[in-house]
């Protein structure tokens, strides 16, 4: 005790995710209740895109959920082709900054020249991870969340049989 102030250490290592109440009873007869939350669970996220497009630009949709603290930001990646390397697209340090918790645009546009020049005939794969407000990272998705194939215009010619 220091004057009217008390200091105590609470080990939270075994406390589970959720809201808890700490009851404080002082030797002089004072008492208090303090509510606090613990978040040990990673958020969940997904990214959706159209399976096929006929233009070099399309919209993807990012969504996620974290039941305890909320989502702080998303980390989206893309790759070109099934064997392409994953490339950062929307992250905390590049693209949209989701660190404020204000998700102004969860439907960003991919193409025609950003983040890369979209090529007819190519297939683009996407995945996303969420980070919650206390720093829990979602496990990186080993498989893509979605893919979009970019096809050129289709021309139909009449069939003439002789």
Strand pairing report for 31-38 and 61-65: unpaired
Task: Look at residue 97 in the predicted model and tell me its pLDDT.
Answer: 45
86: Cα separation from own chain's centroid = 16
Grouping H, G, I as helix, E, B as strand and the rest as coil, residue 24 is strand
With a cut of 90, say whether residue 96 has pLDDT above it.
no
Residue 38 CA to residue 148 CA, distance in Å, equals: 39
With a cut of 90, say whether residue 147 has pLDDT above it.
yes
What digits encode the pLDDT tens for the residues 58-93? Answer: 999 999 888 888 888 889 999 999 999 999 998 764
Residue 47 CA to residue 161 CA, distance in Å, equals: 47
Which tokens go with 114?
């950003």
Residue 148 CA to residue 116 CA, distance in Å, equals: 14
Spatial neighbors of 45 by CB under 8 A, at least 6 apart, are: 62, 63, 64, 65, 71, 74, 128, 129, 130, 138
Return phi, psi of residue 90, to 5°: -115, 110
- Prediction pTM value: 0.75
Least confident of 9-13, 95-99, 106-110, 131-135: 95-99
What digits encode the pLDDT tens for the residues 15-63? Answer: 888 888 888 887 777 888 888 888 888 999 999 999 999 999 999 999 9
């Amino acid at each position: 005790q220091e004057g009217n102030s008390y200091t105590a250490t609470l080990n939270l290592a075994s406390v589970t995710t959720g809201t808890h109440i700490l009851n404080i009873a002082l030797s002089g007869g004072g008492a208090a209740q303090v509510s606090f939350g613990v978040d040990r669970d990673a958020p969940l996220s997904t990214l959706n895109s159209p399976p096929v497009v006929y233009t070099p630009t399309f919209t993807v949709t990012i969504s996620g959920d974290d039941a305890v603290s909320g989502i702080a930001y998303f980390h989206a990646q893309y790759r070109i082709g099934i064997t392409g390397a994953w490339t950062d697209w929307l992250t905390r340090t590049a693209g949209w900054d989701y660190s404020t918790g204000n998700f102004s645009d969860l439907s960003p546009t991919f193409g025609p020249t950003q983040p890369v020049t979209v090529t007819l005939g190519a297939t683009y794969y996407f995945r996303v991870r969420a980070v919650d407000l206390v720093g829990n990272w979602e496990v990186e998705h080993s498989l893509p969340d979605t893919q979009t194939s970019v096809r050129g215009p289709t021309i139909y010619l009449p069939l003439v049989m002789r």
